[in-house]
Amino acid sequence: MNIAFFDTKEYDIPAFERYGKERGISFRFYETKLDADTAELARGFDGVCVFVNDNVSAEVVDKLSEMGVGTIALRCAGYNNVDVKHCFGKLRVVRVPAYSPYAVAEHTMALLLTSVRRIHKAYNRTREFNFSLNGLKGFDLHGKTVGVIGTGKIGSIFIDICKGFGMNILAYDKFPRADADFPYVSLDELFEKSDVISLHLPLFEDTYHLIGYDALKKLKKGVILLNTSRGALIDAEALLDGIKQRIIGGACLDVYEEESELFFEDLSGHIVEDDTLARLLSMPNVIVTSHQAFLTEEALSNIAETTVENLVLCRDGKPCPNELCYGCGSMDDCKKKRKERCF
């Protein structure tokens, strides 16, 4: 099985080559992202492997289908960049639902600690032999209330980490866990009472700009916002206003709403034209990392192994537990439930 691999980074290649060789999957690695202009690069391949900033629109799906491409393999959990509905009946879509939830949860806590203890500022100072403590005062996490929105694997692990710091937990999820050992509250109550809010949920139509101008009116003054999920969960303009109004005491972002042409690239020698991001980076209480929360050795290995296994199942015409589908309209007769291929 031959796969066109888009948006390749140096750290992607070793694990994918290793697992691919073991299972008879060969990859052609392209640095460019997949979109309507680059889809032609997939001609002659059995499938494509894509990441979070590849654009698999309906137009791209049609082009891939016309060229005989049969599979879209997402090497990530989120799939808001893929028109899954349009794929139905044309291409199978598989993903990696969990590669290392610990990696993302731990990075979230690292961002929080860096922010509240001013570690980034201290690091820059001491490199210039400035050992003054002025302006580095933080606060204890112990006894503070953290509101976690989204209690899947990553959110639940982050909650466990917060418990270790002695924090009080509030949680919100559209689909609460039946076995949860933490309290669920309404979104409004979470906004009102949380000293820290962390987002751990996918981007869908109903979660787009979850933190926006309406939410600003409800947030506890001085709240710290954490986002290691999807950038568009937060309205970046509203975030800036919240910071300037002193409603938001700090923001730690591993994702950004308009990151697709920025993150994962070295733009240090360029003028970045995104004024919103530039203003965010100029704020003393904002920390931005470039979508690196997933980036651990364990996660990269798990991503490659699961993606290759997904591709093997597609190659062999078998059902795949990690397949995404738009459904057939009848859950009672769902082929996936019957462990059959959707189409």
What CATH number did the domain enclosing 6 receive? Answer: 3.40.50.720
- 73 domain residue, yes or no: yes
Q: Which phi-psi region, left, alpha or beta, contains residue 264 (left: φ > 0; alpha: ψ -120 to 50)?
A: left
Between CA 46 and CA 26 the distance in angstroms is 10
pTM for the complete prediction? 0.87
Query: Do residue 80 and residue 19 come from a single domain?
Result: yes
- List the chain residues with pLDDT less than 70: 327-338, 342-343
- 174 domain residue, yes or no: yes
Catalytic residue among 230, 257, 305, 309: 230
Structure confidence at residue 166 (pLDDT): 98
Query: Do residue 120 and residue 267 come from a single domain?
Result: yes
Residue 293, exposed/middle/buried by CB under 10 A (0-12, 13-18, 19+)?
Answer: buried
- 342 domain residue, yes or no: no
- 49 domain residue, yes or no: yes
86: annotated active-site residue: no
DSSP conformation class of 11: G
Structure confidence at residue 260 (pLDDT): 81
Q: Give tens-digit pLDDT for 286-335.
A: 999 999 999 999 999 999 999 999 999 999 999 999 999 876 555 556 66
Query: Do residue 238 and residue 123 come from a single domain?
Result: yes
Query: Do residue 195 and residue 157 come from a single domain?
Result: yes
Catalytic residue among 75, 200, 257, 259: 259
Structure confidence at residue 327 (pLDDT): 64
Structure confidence at residue 311 (pLDDT): 98
Structure confidence at residue 1 (pLDDT): 96
Catalytic residue among 106, 291, 305, 309: 291
- 338 domain residue, yes or no: no
Query: Do residue 238 and residue 199 come from a single domain?
Result: yes
- 192 domain residue, yes or no: yes
Query: Do residue 13 and residue 130 come from a single domain?
Result: no
Asked whether the beta carbons of 232 and 201 are under 8 A apart, the reply is: no
Which domain covers residue 165, as residue numbers? 101-288
Query: Do residue 154 and residue 204 come from a single domain?
Result: yes
- 223 domain residue, yes or no: yes
Structure confidence at residue 222 (pLDDT): 97
Query: Do residue 78 and residue 90 come from a single domain?
Result: yes
End-to-end CA distance of the chain: 19
Q: Which phi-psi region, left, alpha or beta, contains residue 195 (left: φ > 0; alpha: ψ -120 to 50)?
A: alpha
Structure confidence at residue 325 (pLDDT): 80
Query: Do residue 38 and residue 20 come from a single domain?
Result: yes
State the DSSP H helix or E strand holding residue 125, giving kind and residue range, or none if neither.
Answer: helix 119-126
Q: Total structural domains in the chain?
A: 2
CA atoms within 13 A on the CB side of 92: 24
Query: Do residue 275 and residue 307 come from a single domain?
Result: no
Contacts of residues 132-138 at CB distance under 8 Å and 24 or more positions apart, as own/partner, are: none
259: annotated active-site residue: yes
Between CA 32 and CA 264 the distance in angstroms is 12
